[in-house]
Amino acid sequence: MTNNFEGMTPILNVSNFAQSMDYYVHKLGFVKKWEWGDPPTFGCVGRDKVSVFLCEGAQGRPGTWIMVFVQDVDALHAEYKQRGANVLRAPANMPWGTREMHVEDPDGHRIRFGSDSTGPVDPAEVKRFWDAVQLPAHARE
């Protein structure tokens, strides 16, 4: 008998649950699936097959990075620019065969959105992209 994995949901620690819920719904186009507490401090947002838990004051750590694969990262980039999301890096083709952009939420969590590469890799763009994601030397020690 095989025990298949069914999915994975990151838990992001947030400093202000209401503010984070608003950002994920209005800026990133997720829908509120549920919330818990009075006032709410734990909840879930979802978009298509992706869910993210938001938790104020408990689970998760600040500055988490997650990767979300989408059909068309360029279309998502255009949507996010229109919505006013905090896009840190516009889409770029990566050497590993994806085209990726970076988005940051109000608590500094980074979401890498990616789809299939659309063409050749620009080494200068990859360097700018990669340099932006590296930890400072003191943080790697």
- Give dist(CA 95, CA 134) in Å, integer: 17
CB 110 within 8 A of CB 137: no
- Give dist(CA 108, CA 139) in Å, integer: 16
Distances (CA, A) of 45 to 29, 38, 76, 84: 9, 18, 17, 18
Residue 140: pLDDT band (50, 70, 90) is: very low
Q: Which of 62, 133, 63, 53 is nearest to 101 (CA)?
A: 133
pLDDT at position 84: 97
Going along the chain from its start, the domains and CATH numbers come out as 11-134 (3.10.180.10)
pLDDT in tens, 4-61: 888 899 999 999 999 999 999 999 999 999 999 999 999 999 999 999 999 998 888 8
At residue 96, does pLDDT exceed 70? Answer: yes
